[in-house]
């Protein structure tokens, strides 16, 4: 694994915008000189490294599914700050085998040892367009003879074909709170893969979804019953909304992507449960719910935090925090192992899972210790 300088393509901004990355300016802080999509550098891997990472991601995903079964069987919902009234519906969703489509592991990896799990974005993962489409076309333009760990697009299409969906169109829903366009473009891309799989689809804003009190079903603006809903609206927000009880109790008559049981995988309490179940596992960092215990250096993560907000790093040299309103739900205390340093930049590997198989890689890097909305996306390739 190495970081290597690249020459940017002429007109690269218009190229990536035409490929769906229309939000590369709006989703990135305007004061930063470095663009969000930065093809001025790339990461280069060997095939042996990629095959090892793929195997480790498959194993991590299997461990996470086993952790869901453990949490449900042991009734450990309060460790995840899940309301009591939601717990039975999570169990029912899991026992039914409500289908899931995709997720993204965030990993620490330096090419010299096993990847370490930082978190699992299992409910509302983003950076999908850049991982699946934009960096693939970059590879074809710049290194057409090389390979890339990237079967995301094909696997998404195959996954839609596998799902036991009800009749009627699948609805893809963004929220009007999305000011950058990232959510709308991500859902638009997911909708495109579903259409390529042969599904009829409809786009709708979350705010335009209504409730039919006579039919006891959600409906769209055309008064069509919604039988399949793909959303990037987190379940922890949904259960707290006025329509939360209806959404939770509609699990049996609707297909939700992602399903309700994914609340247990998108919550950072998962990190502590995994360490309890697999202490010393080479792909895990020690993590606890009751405090840092004997960790020499640790990071405090809100259970439901996003984009690196509300975190606190504590080391023998001192402490530093990021701003954010998350944390009222509780925290997990994970061993702090700084991201590897490549020429002053620190990458986080976003390893994608589609269905139950590793599917590809996207990389974001930062000059700091925590990946946040100021981090840039950098393409990768596999050297021949």
The whole-number average pLDDT for the span 65-70 is 98
The whole-number average pLDDT for the span 162-186 is 90
pLDDT tens by residue, 105-136: 999 999 999 999 999 999 999 899 999 999 99
Band (371; pLDDT cuts 50, 70, 90): confident
Percent of the chain at pLDDT above 70?
Answer: 98
| 3-class secondary-structure state, position 170 | strand
Q: Please give the residue that has the higher pLDDT: either 350 or 22.
A: 350
Give the count of beta carbons closer than 10 Å to the beta carbon of residue 205. 15
- CB of 157 closer than 8 Å to CB of 266: no
Question: Among 76-90, 200-214, 366-380, whose mean pLDDT is lowest?
Answer: 366-380
- CB of 130 closer than 8 Å to CB of 350: no
Peptide bond into 145 cis (omega under 30): no
Compute the Cα dihedral for 293, 295, 296, 300 and give only its sign.
negative
Residues 6+ apart with CB under 8 A from 41: 3, 4, 5, 6, 345, 378
pLDDT exceeds cutoff 70 at 26: no
| CA atoms within 13 Å, Cβ hemisphere of 254 | 25
Cα 253 to Cα 93, 171, 259, 268, distances in angstroms:
11, 14, 12, 29
pLDDT tens by residue, 217-263: 999 999 999 999 999 999 999 999 998 999 998 778 899 999 999 99
pLDDT exceeds cutoff 80 at 183: yes
The whole-number average pLDDT for the span 324-352 is 93
Q: What is the pLDDT of residue 224?
A: 94
Residue with token string 């891309």:
189
285/337 Cα distance (integer angstroms): 8
12/16 Cα distance (integer angstroms): 6
User: Two tokens at 219?
Assistant: 């409906």
31/358 Cα distance (integer angstroms): 35
Q: What is the pLDDT of residue 24?
A: 79
| 3-class secondary-structure state, position 289 | coil
pLDDT tens by residue, 187-199: 999 999 999 999 9
Q: Please give the residue that has the higher pLDDT: either 202 or 214.
A: 202
- CB of 45 closer than 8 Å to CB of 383: yes
How would DSSP label each residue in 361-382? EEEEEESSSS--TT-EEE-EEE
The whole-number average pLDDT for the span 170-198 is 93
Length of the chain (residues): 384
User: Two tokens at 266?
Assistant: 């998108």
């Amino acid at each position: 694994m190495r970081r290597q300088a690249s020459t940017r393509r002429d007109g690269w901004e218009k190229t990536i915008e035409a490929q769906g990355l229309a939000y590369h300016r709006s989703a990135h802080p305007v004061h930063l000189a470095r663009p969000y999509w930065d093809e001025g550098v790339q990461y280069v891997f060997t095939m042996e490294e990629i095959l090892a990472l793929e195997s480790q991601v498959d194993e991590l995903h299997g461990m996470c599914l086993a952790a869901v079964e453990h949490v449900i069987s042991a009734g450990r919902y309060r460790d995840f700050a899940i309301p009591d009234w939601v717990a039975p519906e999570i169990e029912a969703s899991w026992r039914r085998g409500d289908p899931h489509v995709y997720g993204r592991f965030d990993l620490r990896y330096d090419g010299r040892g096993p990847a370490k799990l930082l978190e699992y974005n299992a409910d509302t993962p983003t950076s999908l367009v850049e991982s699946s489409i934009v960096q693939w076309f970059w590879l074809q333009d710049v290194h057409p003879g090389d390979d890339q760990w990237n079967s995301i697009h094909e696997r998404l299409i195959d996954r839609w074909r596998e799902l036991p969906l009800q009749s009627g169109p699948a609805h893809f829903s963004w929220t009007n709170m999305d000011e950058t366009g990232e959510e709308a473009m991500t859902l638009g891309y997911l909708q495109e893969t579903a259409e390529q799989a042969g599904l009829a689809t409809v786009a709708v804003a979350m705010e335009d979804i209504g409730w039919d009190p006579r039919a006891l079903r959600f409906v769209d603006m055309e008064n069509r019953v919604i039988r399949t809903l793909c959303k990037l609206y987190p379940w922890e927000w949904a259960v707290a909304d006025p329509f939360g009880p209806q959404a939770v109790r509609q699990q049996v008559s609707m297909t939700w992507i992602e399903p309700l049981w994914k609340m247990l995988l998108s919550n950072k309490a998962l990190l502590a449960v995994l360490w309890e179940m697999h202490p010393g596992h080479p792909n895990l960092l020690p993590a606890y719910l009751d405090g840092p215990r004997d960790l020499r250096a640790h990071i405090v993560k809100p259970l439901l935090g996003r984009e690196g907000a509300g975190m606190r790093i504590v080391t023998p040299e001192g402490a530093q925090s990021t701003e954010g309103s998350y944390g009222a739900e509780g925290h997990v205390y994970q061993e702090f192992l700084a991201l590897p340093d490549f020429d002053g930049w620190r990458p986080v590997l976003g390893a994608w899972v589609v269905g139950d198989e590793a599917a590809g890689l996207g990389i974001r890097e930062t000059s700091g210790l925590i990946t946040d909305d100021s981090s840039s996306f950098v393409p990768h390739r596999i050297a021949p």
